[in-house]
Amino acid sequence: MPVIRRIGNSLSSFKDRIRSSVVGAKKQNIVFFVALALVVIVAVMIRLTPVLRGPTLIKAFDPWIQYYNAKYISEHSLYEYFHWVDKKSWYPEGFKRAQTRPGLPFTAVVIWMILNFIGIPVSIY
């Protein structure tokens, strides 16, 4: 019985220490740690969206795929990109490239077009 009493005393003292530290904490610290926890949770959820919503392959983060998409956009129109079924990636059905996230290739092509327009010749690579 003395062991259970000691465990109970240590748990109650632990509860008192937690209560005093929470009551004595500044509001700025609490807000900071709550915001930090929310940022971490949102970052993990954003990173997991391709796995949760789409195919289990995380191909949207592959640099070669991003370059391949940017090169196709620079050589074709946006309409052709959104209706492009790439037979090289998955044969014979093909892979719909519009399902991947096009943000990075679009940004790369826009920067490439701006630099070429102002006279700085660069490749899409």
Length, in residues, of the chain: 125
Cβ atoms of residues 103 and 62 within 8 Å: no
Q: What per-residue confidence (pLDDT) applies to 65? A: 82
Q: What per-residue confidence (pLDDT) applies to 116? A: 94
Positions of the chain with pLDDT under 50: none
Give whole-number Cα distances, 14 to 11, 19, 27, 89, 100, in Å. Answer: 5, 9, 22, 59, 51
Q: What per-residue confidence (pLDDT) applies to 110? A: 94
